[in-house]
Amino acid sequence: MGGEEGPARQKAMELLVRYGEALGAEKLVDTNNVCGGISNDPFTRKYAAEAEDFDAVFSEFNLDSSVRVAIPRVKAFTSHLITGMDPEHWQIQGVEPAAYEYNQRREAFCSRIGIQCINTCTPYLVGNVPVKGEHCAWMESSAVVYCNSVLGARTNTEGTESVGASMLVGKTPYWGYHLDENRLGTHLVHVDTDVSSVMDWGLLGYYVGEVVQEQIPVLDGICGIPNISRLKHCGAAAASSGGVEMYHIVGVTPEANSLDEAFGGRTPEYRLDYGRAERKKAYDMLTTATDPEVDFVVLGCPHYSIEQLWEVCRLLEGKRVHSNTSLWIFTPKPLKDHADRQGYTKIITDAGGVLMTDTCPAIGRVHPKGAKVVATDSAKQAHYLPPIMGFETWFGSQADCIQAAISGKWKGELK
Ligand code: F3S
């Protein structure tokens, strides 16, 4: 592509060629599915406050160009990932007015260039569901591992600049998880304990990620078929403790109809067992709290599905959140709209909780003032909240967390 499509697309193409060459990619491949966006971090906000307009911000941070170029509409279908705040609840979240105003400008710009402002780490829950074999360019580790493993679509873990370029030209470097040979299993994980609840799946993913790091585990021996909630929690956990971008479950995920298919006929490089002792190790790694007084309960990482909202409302209906505890639940905005219609938002609000969208505590760094001890059903949130926010963390089931929200005390599993 020369300059005939304008300077922004030319810069995007130059960036992708440079990036592809550095990676050793043999070519660029077409994509019509990009997930990324414009950052909300303080550095970008400061730049935006002094910049001429958002074209300049996009040029600098999404195209690696200190020269401002006019940004045209995106060529590839593009979904925005989470942002730094919920535009309805930013004040409860402790967000400064200047950051809120930046967010409004950012969103107006994204809409203008055709980015879908679904603002979630679970685009696959709200209409962005690539098909098996489809080449994508996604950021966000929990979304990437879901895309590769559960949907059988193909993406590497992209960055702000590469997705910025990909959305403008509809191409991404052809390397890594786009190639058949890089999608085969490396580690055989024999599961010989019951893995049924969402919590079980989070623990399994967390343990396996810690062991395999950036390689590809193949889970075998699991009874039953896990649903979306379980798979998204498993992948998010494995991508947190390790850098897992793809996993297989024999008989469940699309590229693992058999053990042989998952390994491409090769012998596994490593074998490991996952039993009760390994589950306990994962639990102990995730639970850092000792204080039973819980002042913050976080649900919805990765963002909750409508099924999880339905489940949480069954536990919460007619109950009251403890006066010393905040309950925040996160879901994509289109599902919040459905929850409003279905009466779920009212159930949560009547109980004293808040249903939020567009962000999460670990990434948005939003939290109730003074919170110190958090309970969560998310291994990913439990992994990141202590180092990022300094919280002590209890990890447990959704029911344990709701119990903690109501009583103000942790009564779930203990170390
Ligand atoms: Fe999503 Fe935030 Fe968790 S981005 S996966 S809710 S850490």
Which of 119, 120, 121 best tests ligand 1's pocket when mutated (most atoms within 8 Å of CB)? Answer: 121
Supply the pLDDT for residue 2: 52
365 in the Ramachandran plot: left (φ > 0), alpha (ψ -120 to 50) or beta?
A: left
Please name the residue whose Cα sits nearest to atom 1 of ligand 1.
Answer: 302
Q: Which pLDDT value is given to residue 415?
A: 75
User: Is 301 close to ligand 1, i.e. is its CB under 6 Å away?
Assistant: yes
Q: Same domain, yes or no, for 23 and 167?
A: yes
Query: Is residue 413, in this structure, part of any structural domain at all?
Result: no
Domain termination site, one of 250, 285, 320:
285
Beta strand 171-173 pairing with 28-30:
antiparallel
> Is residue 130 located within the same domain as residue 190?
no
**Residue having the nearest C-alpha atom to atom 4 of ligand 1:** 121
pLDDT given for residue 251 in this prediction: 97
Closest to 404 in 3D by CA, of 374, 361, 359:
374
How far apart CA 31 and CA 28 sit, in angstroms, is 9
Tell me the per-residue pLDDT of 237-257, one tens digit each, with 9 for 90 and over.
999 999 999 999 999 999 999
Say if ligand 1 is within 6 A of residue 303 CB: yes
Q: Compute the distance between CA of residue 396 and CA of residue 295 in angstroms, rounded to an integer.
A: 15
Position 390 scores a pLDDT of: 95
> What predicted TM-score, i.e. pTM, was given to this entire model?
0.97
The verdict on 210 and 160 lying in the same domain is no
Query: Residue 78: its pLDDT value, please?
Result: 98
Tokens of 253: 């995920």
- The answer to whether the CB of 125 is under 6 A from ligand 1 is no
Phi, psi dihedrals of residue 9, rounded to the nearest 5°: -70, -30
Structural domain boundaries enclosing 165: 7-178
In which residue ranges of the chain is pLDDT below 70?
1-3
Q: What pLDDT score does 413 carry?
A: 82
170 in any annotated domain:
yes
State whether 24 and 151 are in the same domain.
yes
Q: Are strands 34-36 and 137-138 parallel, antiparallel or unpaired?
A: parallel
Residues 190 and 112 in one domain: no
Tell the residue nearest (CA) to atom 5 of ligand 1.
Answer: 302
Q: Residue 122 CA: which ligand 1 atom is closest?
A: 1
CB of residue 142 inside a 6 A radius of ligand 1: yes
For residue 319, what is the domain's CATH number? Answer: 3.30.499.10
In a domain, 412, yes or no: no
CA dist., res. 329 & res. 235, Å (int) = 20
Of 124, 186, 132, the closest CA to residue 154 belongs to: 132
Phi (first) and psi of residue 178, to 5 degrees: -80, -15
Is 414 part of any domain?
Answer: no
Instruction: Enumerate residues 6+ apart whose C-beta is below 8 A from 398.
Output: 198, 199, 299, 308, 311, 312, 315, 377
| Residue-wise pLDDT tens digits, 15-51 | 999 999 999 999 999 999 999 999 999 999 999 999 9
Ligand 1 close to Cβ of residue 82 (< 6 A): yes
Ligand 1 pocket check for 236: Cβ under 6 Å: yes
- Cis bond before residue 302 (omega within 30° of 0): yes
